[in-house]
Amino acid sequence: MKKLLLIALLALPFAGSAQAPALIPQPVQLQPGKGTFAITPSTVIVARDVEDGRVAGMLSDYVKDRYGLALAIVRQDRADNAIRFNTRRFMKAPDKDAYYLQVAANGIAIEGDTYAGTFYGLQTLLQLLPPAAFTKPASVSDTLKAKVKPGKSKVKTQARPVPPAVTITRVVVPQLLIQDYPRFKYRGMHLDVSRHFFPVSFVKKYIDYLAAHKLNYFHWHLSDDQGWRIEIKKFPELVNTGSWRHGTIVGRYPGTGSDNRRYGGYYTQDEIREVVQYAAGRHISVIPEIDVPGHSSAAIASYPYLSCFPEEPTVIPSWPSEGSRRAQAAGRPKQVQETFGVFNDIMCAGKDSTFLFMEGVIDELVALFPEKYVHMGGDEAPKSNWKRCPHCQARMKAEGLKDEHELQSYFMRRLEKHINARGRTMMGWDEILEGGLAPNAVVMSWQGERGGIEAAKQQHYAVMTPGKPLYFDHSQTRTDDSLVWGGFNPLDSVYAYEPIPAVLDSAAARYIVGAQANLWTEYVSNPAKVEYMIFPRMSALSEVLWSPKEARNWPSFRNRLLTQFGRYAQWGASYSKAFYDLRG
């Protein structure tokens, strides 16, 4: 990489003073040049193998959609008037995701150390291309078509751009040289599809957003009290019963009313495979989460034997709902929750049938998700049922466990054993530290940084995802402009976030693999609001996770964000402009 860089530097007459393009995240090294390169109908894209050909195809599709310009993809290398993709494994790059991008007078070269690097080089190139001259906005956008329920969201949608009616014959790119690689190995975003369900088409769009920000982990929260969202062939009731609820609270607090409609959805196994493959094509690993033993009302509604007390009714909300009326009329004691919060009815750790169930679920997860991590939740599991459950108490006695926290630790360890035996690694929220960490588990630290710090000290890998400032369900405006959960997480706090806590020495700091922002969707009921909550905070996150620490510069980011707003608009995405109100 270094040698190549030197040769390239000598070959290019750099001015140094030219204005740097507004890239997000900021690359490690950017040397602006003089002059431009114009992509014209005679420009070709060179890709010498199949995988580089896929990236070349993405570029040619993009250029066709935005500018109406059809570029040929060729295998034969060519120096002039070409955009060349080349993955070379012998670069000795500082990171496997490294790439180098040169725009010179005669063409563009993108070289990655791995295919991921080449893909990231493409993402940077796309940011260098000028905004397309769209002819007219589409009258009805996909996001507008998405139902926005009254009282839930005041989010305005952007008009979706349409391809130009005329071909633009010169797409001008500034000359420059970039050498780039990420600071952190784990760069994640989460999406809760349980509280509200989002169709595959939008999940793919969400994955596109991650890719454009050079993020590489998509944490898919597939189950919770309010809905089970993944088909498990061995347990069909999960999607027949667990994926549906009647009514959802429509105000801020329980008791403010229900919309009383049947609500839900799930992904078939074919759809799951489609999403995983789509993400893999964008160098994104999908981490499935099945949240247990708490947050599992939807599973319990499907198979009441999973509860310590199968006959006891689910806590009925303090207001009458269509769902609870129907459950009672059908003689069903359990129901999928219609309110949000934490529920006492958790999975029983005393009965072997619970573990048989979970092992069956894990086996299907492992078959569907080829990547390393399987997330088993572990958060917010009240122990009141376990305290009065004879099976749980017998288990504690037999295993010599001194309290219910140790019983939870036993529960998680037993799942981990099954996961590890299938060659995978278990992840969990920081509560899995209580009562003793499972031997190989990776911790997601959400209750501040405490959990991550503790995990790192115990030489366990950890991902930082502290509620402040990385919960994107929290408000980014001083005054709520739509219904949100849990306080104020403005853009500048996200931008200022430092994933490595100062209290860790360098040996322990190595265990902090990166960070992630979470989007819980209690009050996010449609795709437009998802976009509104993540943008522009996700752009700030990408710079925290990718760019060198020293490169972080808030005024510069704010300036570049104006260009980024144009990109959101190009994507047809909603976003918040709240940062104009911020200090500094």
Three-state secondary-structure class, residue 44: strand
Shortest CB 471 distance to ligand TNX, Å: 5
DSSP code at position 109:
E
120 sits near ligand TNX (criterion: CB under 6 A): no
- From residue 391 to residue 430, what is the string marking binding to ligand TNX with x (rule CB under 6 A)? --------------------------------------x-
**Amino acid found at 268:** T
DSSP, res 21: P
Interface with ligand TNX, residue 472, by CB under 6 A: no
Least distance in angstroms from the C-beta of 446 to ligand TNX: 4
For ligand TNX, which is the closer residue by CB, 100 or 472?
A: 472
Helix (H, G, I), strand (E, B) or coil at 197: coil
Q: Which is nearer to ligand TNX, 34 or 468 (CB)?
A: 468
Q: Which of 97, 113, 224, 449 is catalytic?
A: 224
Q: Which residue, 224 or 531, has its beta carbon nearer to ligand TNX?
A: 224
- CB nearer to ligand TNX: pick between 121 and 378: 378
Q: Quickly tell me which residue has 């209290």 as its tokens.
A: 503
CB of 521 to ligand TNX, least distance (A): 8
3-class secondary structure, 244: strand
Q: Which is nearer to ligand TNX, 363 or 380 (CB)?
A: 380
The label of the residue with tokens 């991650």 reads: 210
Type of residue at 163: P
Using alpha carbons, select from 552, 557, 578, 564 the residue that is nearest to residue 498: 552
Active site residue 295: yes
The residue count for binding ligand TNX (CB under 6 A) is: 11
Instruction: Note if 224 is an active site residue.
Output: yes
User: What residues are paired with 463 via a beta bridge?
Assistant: 444, 514
Q: Which is closer to ligand TNX, CB of 113 or CB of 289?
A: 289
Q: What's the closest the beta carbon of residue 20 comes to ligand TNX, in angstroms? A: 37
Could you tell me whether strands 82-87 and 107-112 are parallel, antiparallel, or unpaired per DSSP bridges? parallel
SS3 of the chain: helix, strand, coil, percent, to 5:
35, 20, 45
Per-residue binding letters, 480-519, with ligand TNX (x by CB under 6 A): -----xx---------------------------------
Which residue number, 178 or 470, has a Cβ lying nearer to ligand TNX? 470
Residue of 183, 209, 275 lying closest to 537 (CA atoms): 209
Residue 460 C-beta: closest distance to ligand TNX, Å: 17
Site for ligand TNX contains 471 (CB under 6 A):
yes
Residues 258-317 that bind ligand TNX (CB under 6 A): 295
Helices (H) and strands (E) in the chain, counts: 20, 19
Closest C-alpha to 285, from 333, 219, 350, 204: 219
Q: How far is the CB of 352 from ligand TNX (least distance, A)?
A: 27
Q: In whole angstroms, give the CA distance from residue 303 to residue 287.
A: 25
Q: How far is the CB of 153 from ligand TNX (least distance, A)?
A: 17
Shortest distance (Å) from residue 227 CB to ligand TNX: 13
Closest CA to 51 of 120, 116, 123: 116
Q: Which residue has the tokens 């288990």?
A: 395
446 binds ligand TNX (CB under 6 A): yes
CB 248 → ligand TNX: shortest distance, Å? 14
The interaxial angle of helices 200-212 and 527-534, nearest 10 deg, is: 20
Residue 379 as a binder of ligand TNX (CB under 6 A): the answer is yes
Evaluate whether 227 touches 245 at the Cβ level (below 8 Å): yes
- The single residue among 380, 403, 481, 492 that binds ligand TNX, judged by CB under 6 A, is 380
| Given 380, 406, 434, 454, the catalytic residue | 380
Rule CB under 6 A: is residue 67 a binding residue for ligand TNX? no
Instruction: Give the active site residue among 196, 295, 375, 418.
Output: 295
Tokens read off for 109: 């070269």
Residue from the set 95, 449, 473, 543 that interacts with ligand TNX by CB under 6 A: 473
Q: Where are the beta strands (DSSP E) in 325-405?
A: 373-377
Least separation, in Å, of the C-beta of 323 and ligand TNX? Answer: 20
Q: Which is nearer to ligand TNX, 429 or 511 (CB)?
A: 429
H/E stretch holding 301 reads helix 297-302
Minimum CB distance to ligand TNX smaller for 160 or for 295: 295
Handedness of CA 549, 551, 554, 559 (dihedral sign): negative
Q: Does 99 bind ligand TNX (CB under 6 A)?
A: no
Spatial CA neighbour of 170 closest among 129, 126, 127, 109: 129
d(CA 407, CA 409): 5
Least CB distance to ligand TNX at residue 241 (A): 21
Contact 296, 361 (CB under 8 A): no
Interface of this chain with ligand TNX, residues 508 to 567, rule: CB under 6 A: 520, 522
Q: Which of 370, 487 has the CB closer to ligand TNX?
A: 487
Task: Respond yes or no: is residue 219 known to be catalytic.
Answer: no
Structure token pair of residue 287:
């981490």
Query: Residue 292 forms beta bridges with which residues?
Result: 377
Distance, first Cα to last Cα, the chain: 38
- Cβ proximity to ligand TNX, 446 vs 497, nearer residue: 446
Angle at 563 between CA 560 and CA 564, to 5 degrees: 85
| CB burial of residue 525 (10 Å; 0-12, 13-18, 19+) | buried
Residues serving a catalytic function are: 224, 295, 380
Interaction site with ligand TNX (CB under 6 A): 295, 379-380, 429, 446, 471, 473, 485-486, 520, 522
